[in-house]
Structure 1
Amino acid sequence: MNNPPVPLDPVIHAQSRLRIMATLAAVPRGDALVFPRLRQLLGMTAGNLSTHLSKLEAAGYVEQSKTFSGRTPATYVSLTDDGRAAFNEYTRALHELLNDE
């Protein structure tokens, strides 16, 4: 008997946003990645990454903090607690979907 399909969070499900979430989920809670390092890890353009981060931020899944290192601006990106919970739920639902026979 098949169970109803497991809903996957559409905010996370887009390939680029899923890659962002997976990368940030590997960062320990309380830590953040600087924007250029995240961009480098993902191989994304700054504009594309910014667009996807904005959608994740609007959902409450990531937060961006802007600061200065001397005169140079720096943007740090991290998962929120809600984002970490949403990613854990997404991966749980995906495993359930893949194991459903």
Structure 2
Amino acid sequence: AMKRLGSHAGVQHRACVALHNLAITGESDARIVDSGGVEALVAAMQRHGSHAGVQEGACGGLSSLAITGEHDARIGDSGGVEAVVAAMQRHGSHAGVQHLACVALHN
């Protein structure tokens, strides 16, 4: 759905939040990564840079996927670090984006 409806910010927002929630447990993170979840999160961030909800949800998703350190290379190679930093710069006054972006970078 994220690829097919890439231009729809509302769908991207909800999908990013869903991936964040699925990845929190650590049980689904390998499936998410193997299915292109990292790239989908980064693509949503790049396409909807001005949408704080997409940025917050995607930062949350990336932070959850980065917890174990197992997927750090994939996140870095996909432009995840740059996307998170861009979100922080663009949404400097949005507490949710700032918080989850910091968590993503920390993890």
**Is the TM value for this pair above 0.5?**
no
Name the structure with the higher helix share. Answer: 2
Structure 1 or 2: larger strand share?
1
Larger radius of gyration: 1
What TM-score results when the alignment is normalised by the length of structure 1? 0.30
TM-score when normalising by structure 2: 0.29
